[in-house]
Structure 1
Amino acid sequence: MLNDSSKLEQPSTDTLNKTPDGYFQCGFCKRHYNRADHLIRHVRSHTREKPYVCEICDKGFARPDLLKRHAAGHTHDRDRKRKRNSSVSKQSRVSQACKACASSKLKCDEDKPCRRCRERHIACDWQDLLPQVSPEPHQDDFLETPGRENLPSKQIISPTVVLSTMSSPLEFPSASALMTPGTTLQDPNPSEVEDMCSQPNSIDNGVSPNDHESGIFSIDGTFFPNFIPDSLIPSLARYSDSDLPGTVSDYAQYGALDNFHFDLTLTDGDFSLIDSYNSQAVFPSVPDNHMDYRYGMDSGVGIGAAAYHRSSLSAYQPAREDHAFDDHENLSVPEVINSPQNNLSFRDTAICERLSPSSRDLILSLILEVSREATLSRIMKSFPGTELLDSLVQQYFQHQNNTVESFIHTPTFRTNSEDPGALAVIAAAGAVRSSNPTIRKLGYALNEGVRMHLPTKYERDNTFIRDLRTSQTYALTIDIGIWSGNRRKTEIAESFSQPLITMLRRALRFRRSIYSNIIPLAEDAGHDLELKWRTWVDQESFKRLVYYIFLHDAQTAMALNVNPVISYADMELPLPASRHLWDAKSAKEWKSIFRSTVTAAERLPSLADLLRDMSQLTIFQDYIDTQFAASILVHGLSALVNEYHRLKFISTSGSKHWHALVTNSRQQELDQALQHFRMVCSELKSKCSPETVMIGEVVSMLLYMSLEELQLFAGKEDKMEARRVYDSALEWIASSDSRQAVCHAGQIIRAARSMPASSLVGFLAIGVYYASLAFWSYGVVSSANAARVIRGLEAQPPSNGTVVLLDGEKGVEVLKFVTLNSGLPALHGPEGPVYLHDPAAIMRLAQATFHAETLETRPALVQMLSQLMGDLGNCVHGGE
């Protein structure tokens, strides 16, 4: 009986050599089996399916024989309580014996201290014991079976055991091939990886000395590089030969041979399971050459957890001392900065009217209204002077005139006629872009005061809900908070964005009907022309404000990995008019430009129109702001990519209603749309800005990588979440998606290098970080998956393969790398190529994009991202 049973469980020699000679093949890993029931058990190790449920305690099992043994241990109470009786049957084994009983090889009790220790008046110590490798609780004791001695001496039948991490290096039996029946054993720690013991493993005993020097091997043969901390690899079993049972009789005490009583009856569901998994796998299959490493459950997972915990990308944990008045001490500016002589560098005026002392006093009055009484005296004594505030306002408008998404009309802005809240937030927007840390802190303090003032203003007079300047003030307040690099400010800004969007939507500012065609006639002059121009400016300002908020919302969604609040389908308002019309400094200049470019009352397209037909961008390029429109279009495409990932999320993991073919087809459509976008941009009369090009590459990169899973793998939340997504990371590396992603990441670095360092702020800085995360994940996972670590790569490049420079021109080598995985991916470095398989060097190179020599003068978000990238690179070499 035993010999027959062992034949049922032991894989054939051909199976161990991976020769596909069986009749039944697994749709996941392509293993072959001669019997259908063997395949069914194997498939359930992939799907984690446990169809056999105990009627008493509802515990699930993968096989009926395990359920029968489990049920035999239950006391047959008629009420069938879920809780087991503490008294264990004499025929069952206890879950853990104490040290005294174990050393005497006597039966212990389930209750501790046990009866034997109490009678002998000795200490009953059981907590320090290693987790017992035992069958399911309440199993029958192992019974001697005739014929057991006839087993071949070169084969050891062992249960698949999940052991806790030990400090000694793992040694493998030198002369025995370990064959593992699919026994389900008691998990020593339920919080660790579930059901790993049900996966079949095959172990290669040929471990070279070099492999032992560069890393360690898990019990399933997976290589773990030295830089991965031992604490992250609970699946490693570092036992030596002396720790492993040496004979079949040694395994008897573990109940390993109890599994040889099988119920081999196949149901209709079992046969349908074979058909479905032979025809199609739910998950993307991993190539055979990666399968030996696939089962290393913790290679590199979560090693950046500490780095994320220190960064502002981690979740905000409110403290009692956190409040809105924290920044008020920064409203007091040192005299050396407040001096008029130190603000001469801002004398280049973007607006004609300078800030007056009375306007400065109105700003101070607004701040004092929302300040605590204890700080009033200090704020009044050291509040910024007129010259400093004026220079900050001028600095903002200089910046806006050089950006694509200008939405506050500079020629009609009258400084001393504006609302003090608008002046304060514009000064804050100029201050946060300063290279002086003190002035940046002043900017955030001013912004906090305006944020606290706005609700009172709206409640005092509800007509401000439809006011243009108040809405612009609100938009700037949110923008400053989101990109502040401060967790509290970012969370507040994200939560406060919804009311502004709601107010604009309820005012029909997303609809075309509210925008009329305003065309200057030849006879228009004087007051009538001025009135028509200002009406056009107000209407155009609302259009630009709505699209500015749409861009901001799309960037926030990509930065925080959330759904955008505004749908691209809602954007039915016309695109912004020509930039030349927007920049006209007077009504006469506006009329002249309008009549020379616009020949008829053209119906300008909306974002929804561009998404239907991108060629309209070139058709209407003389009538619309092409730079702004191109940026709007690529942000609309980012919303489609976001939708794709949401659909992909529910169409995997064995979805019953959504087919993977739909998501694959959608990915191809989006890739073609992004390629079409680049082609349309190349046909424009004015070249697309580097910012738009870079954001286009970010969107293309995000199409081919799950930002959520890669950040979880790196350790953004905790190690358990990192382990959960490890399989997805392996599948990503094995597919062409990973190579597509790092190719676009290389183009992001290329675009960032072409921009001045002062431009790499806000979402553009986030884009550089995402590119570095793609490089880092590719390097860490592929190194662990390929069972090797490349050290000293800067001085000793790999000796074989063509170097593929991802941050250069896209050529044949890049195409071969993406499609055939041919070549060695690298970036241009100061002293030669820097290879992606050296994550630490790659992260240092990506850091250099931020110009680290002037990092202390950069905004807090840029400093935080640079520090995070450096920490992720350092944690790779942390174990060396």
Structure 2
Amino acid sequence: MKRHAAGHAHPRDGKRKRPPSYAKSGRVSQACKTCATSKLKCDEEKPCRRCRDKKLVCDWHGGLDEMTPESPGQGSSYDDPDGQPEYPDPEARVFSPPVPSLGNFPASVENPPQSATPDFQMNGYLPETQTAQDPVSASYDAISPMLDHESGIFSVDGTFFPEFIPDALIPSLSRPNELDPSNHTQDYLHNLFDHSMQFDFDLTEVDFGLIDYFNAQGTTHPAPQPEAQSDVDRGIALGAEAYKRSSLSAWKPAREDHAFADQDDLSVPVAIDSPRSSRSDRQILPERLASGSRDLIFGMVLQTSDKANLPRIMKSFPSTDLIDGLMQDYFAQQSRQLDSFIHGPTFRPNEQSADMLTAVAAAGAVRSAIPTIRKLGYALMEVARLHMSVQYESDNRITRDLRPSQTFALVIDMGIWSGDGRRTEIAESFQQPLVTMLRRALRFRRSIYSTIVPSLDDSDEALEKKWRAWVEQESFKRLVHHLFLHDAQSAVMLNVNPLISYAELELPLPSIRALWDAKSAAAWRDVYITLGLLGTERQPSLVDCMRDMSRLQGGVDTQLAGFVLLQGISAMVSEYHRFNFISKGSSKHWNALVTNSRHQELSQALQRFRMVGYEWSEPPRSEVFLVYEMISMLLHMSLEELQLFAGKEDKREARRVYHSALEWINSIDSRRAVWHAGQVIRAAKAMPAGSLTGFLAVGVYYASLVFWSYSMVLKARNAKSGNPRSSGRTPQSSPTVLLDGEETISVQKFICLGCGRPALQGSQEPAFLSDPGQTMDIAKGLLRADASQDALPPLVQGLCQLMGDLGNAAKSD
């Protein structure tokens, strides 16, 4: 190649010229007869060195004239042993059959073997028996590169390439989609290297550059990658970019990230803080907030704020009515939650500490549909978090008190579901102190809890005392189980190990909700008498119910207890996936039978929970079913690998797990996961508008991620296997399988046999999984609930954006 480049690097005068010498191995203008006959290197100086050394007659006059095309092993296109053709004059025809052959080739080939597209084609490689009228020669001429001998340029289909850059030329000459399928030129090139060549190689003088090039490139072009692989790569790249823009991506601290960054939000505009818009019409608490209690909050804010922000905060700090309305809103929302852990009837705002009031007001504000109020809530949360450490350090006895622990739980609860990377990371790191304080206080054990029941002989004062003691004890029980739920759910969202083990919760499960909601001591006693709970036996714990799920009855809050039990099973599912990750592949120490048996046990445990749920006095609520289906879905897939495939980290990690995704799509587990994901959507449709927040919103996102991954991987698998359904669509004649409907025979056929076209129920027509954009739109519609983008919580906004970007990535394919 270098010799050829040097030969064309000088101006032409209409005649082929070469430089007089070349540094390594110059090409002579004419070889002597002896060297040309032996196909060996000759010298420009005559007589040549080889003839002088061997004492031969060096005849260079007419040395090439006597070599006719008919001479075996010789041809006019060769003048040196390098195997480089000597180009004819520009006036000569480029493709002039018959072409002399390079060696002894068969005159014709019967049924030539099919091979991949050759690396390159040269007209000198055609057998000399072919003529211009032959179909093979004609087809070859149609696609063969044209060579401009003066400029050294190849022309392939109108595209010009420098002839001395073969690596750049080869891909352009091997376009399987553009070549004629009937072209058999590649077969002749294949035969060129499949037969013995009669070359007289002198190993001391021959330049093997061209032979090395052939050995490195091989005789056939490597098989092209399936088109679906490029589609997957494009989807992976777009998915990685979408994940980087989402709130679920890793947080990278910046200079402006600090505890005082949100203090400007502590001042509220007058239009929002007006009496008409701030005071809530509902009064959930026994009393309204007094101005003195509001001043306690204001004083704590001034104490923890930066001096530069004090004038603005003092001028526009929220009024008493606004803070009271936010607190009333929080308890109103808590009354509808399964895991309520602050007792509203005994919560008197004017008797609480400033920390507690600030945290409760912040918890009500972050759930507001007004962005300004939400920002106020997160700013108040930062104030409460900073002040908590001062309180704990000033008096360590409060680590065992109820209200500080509830305040701590509110702060980390707001942070983990805030949708902000900084707040989420801080909340994740602050879970351990609260867990440690409750664990060291023996709040996870049964021994510290006593049986408190009313009696018909109790006086009003004794009954009131029992009721308040029961409320504090019940509040601790609900706080521990709320913290267990929070820990398990955040572990699923962050894909980390939970801090609390399901095996250590031996405290009694929370009592029935009617006792918790009683607004007075007398009402509390009446519930005991009405439900016949005075002689109730020992209340079961989470450990007891995991041993025997039928104990989820009696005097316990079945909805909350079932929710807690599901999260315990969720921790087992996470353990199974971690063990399966270690034992799969070529592990030498672990047996796959153990993991398969564990998978079957967990599947049966979830089935038992479903059957037990039908025996409850009240059917499981929609959020219980949603979490049940979500955990069932997670059992049949690796959440970490699916998130990596969707671009959680980067494109390299996404491509790394691509083969695992292919294995998953070939198993029945993929269709089971898709079915349970559809049931998650079904349960989400039954939820009230605006209630899909926090962990429930994450569950909807994970379901949509299963649909997206299933469609993308199925498309790539079908294309890779040459399946005619490479687009990921099943034939139109196949029945439609609604994944968010009832379990029917067609559903069972889809799960077991892969028959049918999986789809979700759309507003007008089914949304098939082969179109990930439609399924993402359905999931986004559930989270939006006809609300504006600004009215949604930040976490839900981020999930909607991520699902929209993933849907667009799939549409781009």
Per the shorter chain, which TM-score range?
Answer: 0.7 to 0.9
Output the amino acid matched with 2:392.
Answer: Y
Distance in 2 (CA, whole Å) between partners of 1:527 and 1:812 is 63
- Which residue of the partner structure matches residue 762 of structure 2? 829
3-state SS of paired residue (1:825): strand
1:763 is aligned to: 695
3-state SS in 1 of match to 2:704 = helix
CA radius of gyration, larger in: 2
Counterpart of 1:342 in structure 2 is: 277
Counterpart of 2:675? 743
- How far, CA to CA, are the matches of 2:261 and 2:354 in structure 1? 22
Report the secondary structure of 1:829's partner residue.
Answer: coil
Q: Aligned runs of 1:46-85 on 2, under 5 Å?
A: none
Q: Is the CA contact (8 Å cut-off) linking 1:294 and 1:727 kept in structure 2?
A: no
CA 1:295–1:337: 2 relative to 1, 3 Å: closer
SS in 2 for 1:565: coil
**Aligned residue for 1:678?**
610
The residue type equivalent to 2:640 in the other structure is E
Q: Kindly indicate whether the alpha-carbon contact (under 8 Å) linking 2:679 and 2:741 is maintained by their aligned counterparts in 1.
A: yes
**2:460 matches 1:501:** no
Bigger drift between 657-666 and 397-406 goes to: 657-666
Percent of matched pairs sharing the same residue: 53
Deviation at 1:599, TM superposition (A): 3.5
Identify if the C-alpha distance between structure 1 residues 101 and 571 changes in structure 2 by more than 3 Å, giving closer, same or farther: farther
- Pair 1:848 & 2:781 matched: yes
Correspondence 1:314 to 2:245: no
Contact 2:228 2:715 in 1 (8 A): no
Distance 1:117 1:588 in 2: 110
Alignment correspondent of 2:513: 579
Cα separation, 1, equivalents of 2:232 and 2:295: 63
Using the TM superposition, name which of 299-308 and 241-250 deviates more. 241-250
In structure 1, what is the equivalent of residue 58 of structure 2? none
Deviations 1:505-543 (A, max 9, x none): 011100011111112233221322221211111111000
* 3-state SS in 2 of match to 1:335: coil
The alpha carbon displacement at 1:297 in A equals 8.9
Give the aligned partner of residue 266 of structure 1: none
| Contact 1:825/1:836 (<8 A) preserved | yes
Asked whether the 8 Å contact 1:510–1:546 carries over to 2, the reply is yes
Contact 2:718 2:726 (C-alpha < 8 Å) held by counterparts: no
Contact 1:573/1:606 (8 A) holds in 2:
yes
Distance 2:588 2:417 in 1: 41
Q: Distance in 1 between matches of 2:264 and 2:115?
A: 72
One-letter amino acid of the counterpart of residue 860, structure 1: P
Task: Quote how far apart the aligned CAs of 1:601 are.
Answer: 5.2
User: How many angstroms apart in 1 are the aligned matches of 2:422 and 2:416?
Assistant: 10
In the alignment, structure 1 residue 877 sits paired with structure 2 residue 800: no
Range with bigger deviation, 446-455 or 296-305: 296-305
Deviations 1:450-483 (A, max 9, x none): 1111111100111111110000000010010011
Partner of 1:39: none
Q: Does the 8 Å CA contact 2:416/2:425 hold for their aligned counterparts?
A: yes
Q: What is aligned with 2:771? A: 838
Q: CA deviation at 1:326?
A: 1.2
The alpha carbon displacement at 1:600 in A equals: 2.3
646 and 630 in structure 1: CA distance in 2 versus 1, 3 angstrom threshold: same
Match in the other structure for 2:466: 532
Per the alignment, residue 56 of structure 1 pairs with none
The TM-score normalised by the length of structure 2 is 0.74
Q: 2:387 aligns with which of 438, 453, 470?
A: 453
Q: Does 1:720 align with 2:655?
A: no
Which residue of 355, 360, 371 maps to 1:421? Answer: 355
Question: Which whole-Å CA distance do the structure 2 matches of 1:642 and 1:506 have between them?
Answer: 26
Residue 667 of structure 1 and its aligned partner are, at CA, apart by 1.1
Unpaired runs of at least 5, structure 1: 1-98, 106-115, 121-141, 159-169, 175-236, 261-289
Q: Secondary structure at the match of 1:350?
A: coil
CA distance in 1, matches of 2:779, 2:391: 44
Q: Residue 653 of structure 1: which of 585, 599, 603 is its match? A: 585
Secondary structure at 2:446 match in 1: coil
Distance of 1:783 and 1:172 partners within structure 2: 30
Structure 1 pair 672–582 and aligned structure 2 pair: CA distance change class (3 A): same
Match of 2:417 among 483, 504, 508: 483
Residues 171 and 238 in structure 1, CA contact (< 8 A), matched pair in contact too: no
Q: Does 1:330 align with 2:265?
A: yes
SS of aligned partner of 2:587 = coil
Q: Which amino acid aligns with 2:693?
A: V
For residues 640 and 117 of structure 1, the distance between their equivalents in structure 2, rounded to whole angstroms, comes to 74
2:759 partner SS: strand
Partners in 2 of 1:490 and 1:152 — Cα distance? 71
SS of equivalent residue, structure 1 residue 773: helix
Q: Corresponding residue for 1:179? A: none
The alignment status of 1:399 with 2:333, answered yes or no, reads: yes
In the alignment, which residue of structure 2 is the partner of 1:353?
287
Choose the corresponding residue for 1:732, options 664, 672, 676.
664
Q: 1:820 aligned to 2:779?
A: no
Distance 1:592 1:293, change over 3 A: same
Per-residue CA distance 1:106-130 (angstroms, 9 max, x = gap) = xxxxxxxxxx99999xxxxxxxxxx
- Pairs within 5 Å for 1:404-803: 404-596=338-530, 597-600=532-535, 602-618=537-553, 620=554, 623-787=555-719, 799-803=732-736
**Structural mapping, 1:19-418, within 5 Å:** 100=2, 103=5, 154=112, 239-241=172-174, 246-247=189-190, 252-254=211-213, 256=215, 298=233, 300-344=235-279, 346-418=280-352
Hey, what's the Cα distance between the residues in 1 that align with 2:356 and 2:458? 32
Cα shift readout 1:405-447 (whole Å, capped 9, x = no counterpart): 1110111111100111111111111111111111111111111
Verify the 8 A CA contact 1:762 1:861 in the aligned structure 2. Answer: yes
Corresponding residue of 1:858: 792
In the TM superposition, residue 240 of structure 1 has moved relative to its aligned partner by 3.1
Note closer, same or farther for the CA distance 1:735–1:376 as it changes in structure 2 (3 Å cut).
Answer: same
Mapped to 2, the partners of 1:852 and 1:518 lie a distance apart of 44
Distance 1:507 1:467 in 2: 10
- SS of equivalent residue, structure 2 residue 549: coil
Distance 1:610 1:550 in 2: 15
Distance 1:385 1:258, change over 3 A: closer
The separation in 2 between residues aligned to 1:554 and 1:426, in whole angstroms, is 23
Whether contact under 8 Å (1:251, 1:257) holds in the other structure is: no
Aligned CA distance change for structure 1 residues 675 and 381 (closer, same or farther; 3 Å): same
Answer yes or no: is the 8 Å Cα contact 2:583–2:591 preserved in 1: yes
For 1:824 and 1:659, how far apart are their aligned partners in 2?
36
Match of 2:36 in 1: none
RMSD value, Cα: 3.4
Letter aligned with residue 857 of structure 1: A
Amino acid at match of 1:307: A
Distance in 2 separating the partners of 1:779 and 1:295: 15
Q: Distance in 1 between matches of 2:217 and 2:760?
A: 56
